[in-house]
Structure 1
Amino acid sequence: MDLNFIAFGVYPYIALAVLAIGSIVRFDREQYTWRTGSSQLLRRKQLVLGSILFHLGILAIFAGHFVGLLTPVIVWDFFMVTHGFKQMLAIVAGGVAGIFCLAGGLLLLHRRLFDARIRNTSSFGDIAILVILLVQLGLGLATIPLSLGHRDGSEMIKFMNWAQGIFTFNPYSASYITDVSWVFKAHITLGLTILLIFPFTRLVHMLSAPIWYLNRRGWQLVRSKRPMPPTRRTVERTK
């Protein structure tokens, strides 16, 4: 059993299994930890810009990977979308989305590292998962020059066959990407690792659709940073 088969033929199933089972168990047993842990009340302006860039970018990246990798080749052929066009579309759209996401992620990381109050309320996991995502974005952007060397879409077909082979339980799926660049392999491996640790991080909020918030009743109490003015009774006691 070679390393390539373990990494790209076995590890994907381990990551997907932990993702599914871990998310279900956490939602069932620890619903109060199923949240974003937002620090908006501590510093809003930088959060808004960073969050918008980051979320727009990551949603576009996720949609592009999902559609691009899991749509069968026969469907693209039916709509007469050439592999070369699809490759260039992925490079341009993915590059723009990746830059947006990276810029937003760096702003969010800057808040957590250099704002004392936010850093004190952040856990190790909050910072670690953000760093991991930024490294993954960097690897993704690093694949663009390599993809430009395969504008005919031949490399993309390999990744499509691999991804679709995983979901169709093809035992030879790992062989499709045996000879691709180590940058692609590192990008895939780290992506699978993110799926593996997903249920144990704040990323679980991505699985939520809190539409009931629109009709929620109740108030949120927030303490002011400024000291409260003394009451009349307090003044009389100090005289």
Structure 2
Amino acid sequence: MSSTLWLMVPYIAFTSFVLGHLWRYRTDQFGWTTRSSQIYESRLLRLGSPLFHFGMLGVIGGHVLGVLIPQSWTDAIGISEHLYHVVAVSAGSVAGLAVIAGITILLYRRLTVSAVRQATTTNDKAMYILLAAALITGLLNTVGSNLLWGTYNYRETVSPWFRSLFTLHPHPDLMVGTPWTFQAHGLIVLSLIAFWPYTRLVHMFSAPIGYLVRPYVVYRAKPNKSADKTRYARAWETPAIPRR
């Protein structure tokens, strides 16, 4: 593929990602949600959603280590190339299989549960296709390039190319000679990044992290007992209990 492609497409995708989120936030705050369908069906959701989300944490962590952190850094702390690939294949395969199992269950649920299927928009369908394609090609790269057709050190080509985009000194020529599976994965991921703001994936930026540290909400106190004012200083006021 032409080096121009690996220069223009990433910046188009990043521009769409940033401006799209700003536009979405200003014009569609009520639509900034997962549009949860748990009310329609919960059994398959309880199985597929944790597999998908916890698997994605592993996938994202692997990409941070493999793409954003230079190879020289891992070499400096004594992680050899062989050890890195062993960890990448084992951990990446587990995380990748968990994500694919999770998204398979979620897609099956959307296709077979009538109410969930009717609540699925056109953008949702396109998003699922891109996401599934990115996961499949990513797992193919992790397993295939290390076990099936020989080891390929993407940290010497793909990783420097991706990091160079953020330093505004891009090196698109690094991607020209990479295996087609890595090129396909890169283009699919860039397409997903560009399409991200217009899908339910925006909910990633509104995760309720504050719930981890917020105080309890007191709905009803025990009779003849007042709530701990220090503990519940930021919570709702304790409701008065009528005496009989």
Give yes or no for TM over 0.5. yes
* Alpha-carbon distance between aligned partners in 2 of 1:215 and 1:117, rounded to the nearest angstrom: 36
* 2:22 matched residue in structure 1: 24
Unaligned runs of 5+ in 2: 218-244
**Against the structure 1 CA distance between its residues 87 and 9, is the aligned structure 2 distance closer, same or farther, given a 3 Å change threshold?**
farther
Does the CA-based 8 Å contact 1:16-1:196 persist in structure 2? yes
* 2:119 matched residue in structure 1: 121
* Alpha-carbon distance between aligned partners in 2 of 1:67 and 1:111, rounded to the nearest angstrom: 33
**Against the structure 1 CA distance between its residues 35 and 75, is the aligned structure 2 distance closer, same or farther, given a 3 Å change threshold?**
same
* 2:182 matched residue in structure 1: 184
Q: C-alpha displacement at 1:87, in angstroms?
A: 2.2
Which residue identity does 1:169 align to in structure 2? L
Question: What aligned pairs does 1:194-213 form with structure 2 within 5 A after superposition?
Answer: 194-211=192-209
Which deviates more from structure 2 when the two are superposed, residues 110-119 or residues 125-134? 125-134
Does the CA-based 8 Å contact 2:130-2:191 persist in structure 1? no
* Alpha-carbon distance between aligned partners in 2 of 1:22 and 1:216, rounded to the nearest angstrom: 36
Unaligned runs of 5+ in 1: 218-239
* Alpha-carbon distance between aligned partners in 2 of 1:125 and 1:52, rounded to the nearest angstrom: 23
Higher share of residues assigned helix: 1
Q: C-alpha displacement at 1:116, in angstroms?
A: 0.8
Which deviates more from structure 2 when the two are superposed, residues 10-19 or residues 185-194? 10-19
Q: C-alpha displacement at 1:166, in angstroms?
A: 1.5
* 2:160 matched residue in structure 1: 161
How many residues matched? 213
* 1:81 matched residue in structure 2: 79
* Alpha-carbon distance between aligned partners in 2 of 1:138 and 1:102, rounded to the nearest angstrom: 8
Question: What aligned pairs does 1:1-239 form with structure 2 within 5 A after superposition?
Answer: 3-143=1-141, 144-148=143-147, 149-151=149-151, 154-171=153-170, 173-211=171-209
* 1:229 matched residue in structure 2: none
Indicate the SS of the match to 1:61: helix
Does the CA-based 8 Å contact 1:147-1:155 persist in structure 2? no
* Alpha-carbon distance between aligned partners in 2 of 1:114 and 1:154, rounded to the nearest angstrom: 41
1:169-228, Cα deviation, whole Å (9 max, x unpaired): 223x211122111111000100000000000000000111324566798xxxxxxxxxxx
1:54-73, Cα deviation, whole Å (9 max, x unpaired): 11111211121122211122
Q: C-alpha displacement at 1:150, in angstroms?
A: 4.5
Indicate the SS of the match to 1:31: coil
* Alpha-carbon distance between aligned partners in 1 of 2:164 and 2:68, rounded to the nearest angstrom: 9
Task: Provide TM-score, normalisation by structure 2.
Answer: 0.81
Which residue identity does 1:17 align to in structure 2? T
* Alpha-carbon distance between aligned partners in 1 of 2:130 and 2:216, rounded to the nearest angstrom: 34
* Alpha-carbon distance between aligned partners in 2 of 1:54 and 1:201, rounded to the nearest angstrom: 17
Indicate the SS of the match to 2:157: helix
Does the CA-based 8 Å contact 2:71-2:155 persist in structure 1? no
Which residue identity does 2:205 align to in structure 1? L
Does the CA-based 8 Å contact 2:3-2:175 persist in structure 1? no
